[in-house]
Each structure stands twice: as C-alpha cells, then as structure tokens.
Amino acid sequence: MPEYEAVIGLEVHVQLKTASKMFTDAPTGFGRPPNSITNAVVMGMPGTLPVLNKGAIEQAIRVGLIFGSKIPEVFKWDRKNYFYPDSPKNYQLTQMDAPVCVGGQVEIELAGPSRNLMGEHKIIHLDHAHLEEDVGKLTHFSKDSLVDYNRAGTPLLEIVTKPDLHSAEEAVALLQSIRMHLVAAGVSDCDMEKGQMRCDANVSVRPIGQSTLNPRAEMKNLNSITGVKHAINYEIGRQSRVYDKGGTVTQETRRWDADLGRTSSMRSKEEAHDYRYFPDPDLLPVHFPRDRIDELKEGLPEGVFVRQRRYEAQYGLPYTVTSVICYDHELTIFFETGMVEYGKNPKTLANYIANELQRERSQAEGDGNLPMADVLLSPEALARMVQLIDAGKLTKYLARDVFVDMFNTGKEAQTIMDEKGIKVEEPDAGELEQWCRDAVAGNPVAAQQFREGNDKAINSYMGPVMKASRGKANPQTVREMLIRIIGET
C-alpha cells in the first residue's frame, strides 16, 4: 500500500465587524429577536437598490493588507443565482472574478513539543479573498422550518487558501492565525460559536511523491475547531481506504455529521455555470483610492508573530510569556499600556500578566475566563505595583497577596499596603547577616562558582534568605550582603 499525503485548502468565511449590512443601513448584530434587523433591501423587495457599505470594504482591504495580498485597482460585484429559502433575493451578491484581495500569505504556528516550547512556523499561501453577503439562518423541525433573516446581508469575507495545508493540525493552526490577526486589527470577532467564523474544507489525498492533485471532497460549513479537525481526519482516512481498495474518489460536496463522526455525500460538485453568474447591474465596479489604502495600512497593528519575535528580542521575554500575551490582543494592549506607565521592567510586568492575571481570571466566578472588560485591575496600577517592587517598597513575596487584592478590588497597590499595614520591614541587620551566613555555609559550591565569575550562582542563596525573612528583606540589600560575605570567606 502506498503512503498518502493529505492536501487541504480552506475557504474561511469571516463576518466583518461593521455597524450596518453590506448593501443597506440595516444594523448587524447577533442574538437579536428573529427578523428584527432586516429591511426591504435585505428582503429583496422589488424596486429596492443596494448601497455599498464603505466600512465593509475597508475592513476587507485591511485583511488583505494584514496578509500581504494585492488590492487590485478595480473590483466588482456579481450575482450568484440560486434559490434557497435562506436567501430571500434569489441571488447572493458576491465577487466572482474580480475580488477585493488577490494572493497573500498567512504565517501559522504548529504546536510545539510542549506547551512551553515554540512550535514550527510555516507559510500558507492565499489564493484570494472576496466579499459577499451572508445568508439567513434556517432552523429545521420535524414538520416545518423557521427562518431568521437577521444574519442575511451581513458583510462576509471569504478567504481562500491555496492547497498548501497537509494535516488537520495545519488547518486548525491556519484558522487560529487568521483569528488572532483579525481580532487584533478589529476586523472581526471571529467567534465560531456565534457563526462569525466558519469554513469549508477541501480535502484530497495522493500517494507521497505525486505532484498532481487528486479529486477532492468539499465539506461545507464547519463551525467549530473540533469539527474542522475531526472532519478532515475522517475524510483523509476515508479517501485513503478508497484508494487502498483500488477505487476512485470523485469530486463532491460532503456533509460532516458531528454526532455520527463521519461525512456523507451531499451532491456532486456544482459548477460555476450552475449559478449563472453575471455582473450586478445595480452596483458599479469599485476603484478604491490608493491613498486611503495607504492610510489603512498605517493604522494596522503589528503582526502577531512579528510582535512576538520583537518582544523576545527587545525585552528578553520567554516563549511561555509571549505566547500568552501576543496571542491575545487584549493582553497585548494591557501590557503596552502598562509599559507606558512604567517601562523599566518589562519582564516582571509581563510575568504578572501572563501568570497571575491569567490565573485570577480563570479562577473568577462565572464560566470561562473573566472577560478583560470586567477586570477591575488597570494596567497602570499593575505597572505601579511593579515600580514599587523595583523601588524595594514591596517584595514579590508580599506582592502575592497584594496582587490578588488589586485584582479583586481594582485598588492601587499602595492603597492596599496602607490599609493593611503591609510594608517591607528591613529585618534587623544582625539577623539578616546570620541568615546570609547560614545560606552560604549550607552551599559552599555556589559561593565558589560566584568567585570564579558566575554571577548567577548568587541567586541560589536569594531564595533561602528571602524565605527566612518571610519575604520582608529587601532583595537588593540581601544581594549586597551576600556578595560581601562571599568575598570575606
């Protein structure tokens, strides 16, 4: 039996964040009463005309700029004609052959050997991204169905990759990378549970070494990360077994059934001519001003992985910390706002965000992490707490409880310290000296290493001495005293 290689291309649909719909001023929104945010244009009433939403186009262009796509001089709108009850107009406005973004590439990260280690990075090429309008939502019952047109007409960007992916893990990493970048840029919330991000997965397998592509199955409307992963893995297995038995795979559209954990044939692949595409007569081709594109580019945040590499190089932050902060745009903003307040100790600030803040959020009441919007602790207050530590007015030991109080109340570290009488009490110098001497006597090897030029060796005494002082000693004083004692002996 030959060994197979999977070949996968994704069509990722993301709802763009805009106040109103793609071609009319009806508002966008999730969770509203059914059919409450529609109007005559959304409902395709005779005599209505579409009006282009400039904000949606700018959001789409931002996506292209984030991923290095070319924004063509002109793009246009086509009607894709089909009847289905979720689309009241009988056609969908889309871009068939002149999309808003052409080409581009997305950097992805595959999981590392452990959570603490950086994974492999790859580049996945994009074919294009085109704008279209979302359709309504059908809910089927045993005898009848309900339709809600609230979602109909919402701007939807379809990002189409080249068949560059070779495993379910890579497909998931692509979705995660797209989500991180788009959320950071404020282009989309990409919440799969709210249907703001969905994807069609095209999967084929071929014997390793073959360069031509085999026929593919397209699985429509996968709406969760686990769905994407399981559907792709199932399909790779199914097609491999077909080939093993000497059969052929035909190009078709398949449905993923999450309950049964398998795909089943829906229909043979439709062809473009089935949709009788033609340019929409009511919408002119768009010549988007080049200087506005430059402005949009200026306004974009730094790329997620670019920023991560910069934090590692510029601040010496470890992967364990950057992979928490940089992969969550709200934490990035928290960190950078804190840095503006007090930028002298990025490592300590970042550590409190990636560890203590995340721990308290995960332990807060309610399900899931406490949303950042509900966090009482401000980045400025945290930065000032770090400043107190650096000034020797607070120790990391004492800061453990102070931090939790700050998180729970939103108060300043200094206020909490005043209220609770927390202060760094310099232990009696004689007592401190005794602890230092005990520590050095207990580990003569480290002292020797320090004398031989290994400055870090002194750190092995810091813990025991700080512990003996119950966190009250000033680390700087302890360090100086240790250096003196080691020099004497």
Tell me the two tokens of residue 252: 């078709």
Least distance CB 173 / ligand ADP (angstroms): 16
For residue 198, state whether it binds ligand ADP (rule: CB under 6 A): no
Least distance from ligand ADP to the Cβ atom of residue 176, Å: 17
Contact at 8 Å (CB) between 15 and 155? yes
- Residue 235 to residue 391: CA distance in whole angstroms: 60
Q: Of 24 and 202, which CB lies nearer to ligand ADP in the complex structure?
A: 202
Site for ligand ADP in 216-245 (CB under 6 A): 216
Q: Between 228 and 432, whose beta carbon lies closer to ligand ADP?
A: 228
Q: Considering the complex, state which of residue 214 and residue 477 has its C-beta at the smaller distance from ligand ADP.
A: 214
One-letter identity of residue 308: Q
Q: Is 376 in the site for ligand ADP (CB under 6 A)?
A: no
Stretch that binds ligand ADP, among 1-9, 69-77, 91-99, 299-307 (CB under 6 A): 1-9
69 lies in the binding site for ligand ADP (CB under 6 A): no
Stretch of 213-221, 242-250, 405-413, 455-463 lying at the interface with ligand ADP (CB under 6 A)? 213-221
- According to CB under 6 A, which residues from 234 to 293 bind ligand ADP? none
Q: What are all long-range contacts of 442-449, with beta carbons under 8 Å and residues at least 24 apart? A: 447/486, 447/489
Smaller CB separation from ligand ADP, 201 or 402: 201
> What sign does the CA torsion over 297, 132, 21, 193 have?
negative
Sign of CA dihedral 368, 372, 374, 380: positive
Tell the smallest beta-carbon distance from residue 214 to ligand ADP (Å): 6
**Residue 129 in contact with ligand ADP, rule: CB under 6 A:** no
41 is an interface residue for ligand ADP by CB under 6 A: no
Greatest Cα pair distance, the chain, in angstroms, is 95
- β-bridge pairing 252-257 and 91-94: unpaired
Which residue stretch of 22-30, 198-206, 380-388, 405-413 sits at the interface with ligand ADP (rule: CB under 6 A)? 198-206
Residue 6: its H or E element: strand 4-15
Indicate the residue among 130 and 329 with the shorter CB distance to ligand ADP. 130
The single residue among 69, 92, 150, 202 that binds ligand ADP, judged by CB under 6 A, is 202
198, 186 Cβ separation under 8 angstroms: no
- CB 304, min distance to ligand ADP, A: 22
Q: Is 13 exposed, middle or buried (0-12, 13-18, 19+ CB in 10 A)?
A: buried
User: With respect to ligand ADP, which residue has the nearer C-beta, 208 or 373?
Assistant: 208
Least spacing, CB of residue 99 vs ligand ADP, in Å: 11
Q: Considering only the stretches 202-210, 228-236, 282-290, 307-315, report the one whose residues sit in contact with ligand ADP under the rule CB under 6 A.
A: 202-210
| Min separation Cβ 6 and ligand ADP, Å | 8
3-state secondary structure 223-272: CCHHHHHHHHHHHHHHHHHHHHCCCCCCCEEEEEECCCCEEEEEEECCCH
Binding span for ligand ADP by CB under 6 A among 53-61, 140-148, 197-205, 348-356: 197-205
As a whole number of angstroms, the distance between CA 67 and CA 125 comes to 9
Residue type for position 146: L
Type of residue found at 83: F
* Minimal distance, residue 203 CB to ligand ADP, in Å: 6
Q: Does residue 385 bind ligand ADP (CB under 6 A)?
A: no
64 binds ligand ADP (CB under 6 A): no
Check residue 7 for interaction with ligand ADP (CB under 6 A). yes
What phi and psi values does residue 96 have, to the nearest 5 degrees? -85, -55
Nearer to ligand ADP, 6 or 468 (CB): 6
The rounded distance, in Å, linking the Cα atoms of 472 and 416 is: 17
Does residue 340 belong to the site contacting ligand ADP (CB under 6 A)? no
The smaller minimum CB distance to ligand ADP, of residues 265 and 362, is found at 265
The burial of 9, by beta-carbon neighbours within 10 Å (0-12 exposed, 13-18 middle, 19 or more buried), is given as buried
Single residue of 111, 213, 284, 429 touching ligand ADP by CB under 6 A: 213
Minimum gap (Å) between residue 55 Cβ and ligand ADP: 27
Question: Using a CB cutoff of 8 Å and minimum separation of 24, what contacts does 399-406 make?
Answer: 403/352, 403/356, 403/360, 404/360, 406/377, 406/381, 406/382
Residues 153-172 that bind ligand ADP (CB under 6 A): 160-163
Q: Other C-beta atoms within 10 Å of 205: how many?
A: 25
Please work out the total of residues on this chain that contact ligand ADP, with binding judged by CB under 6 A: 15
List interacting residues with ligand ADP (CB under 6 A): 7-11, 160-163, 202-204, 213-214, 216
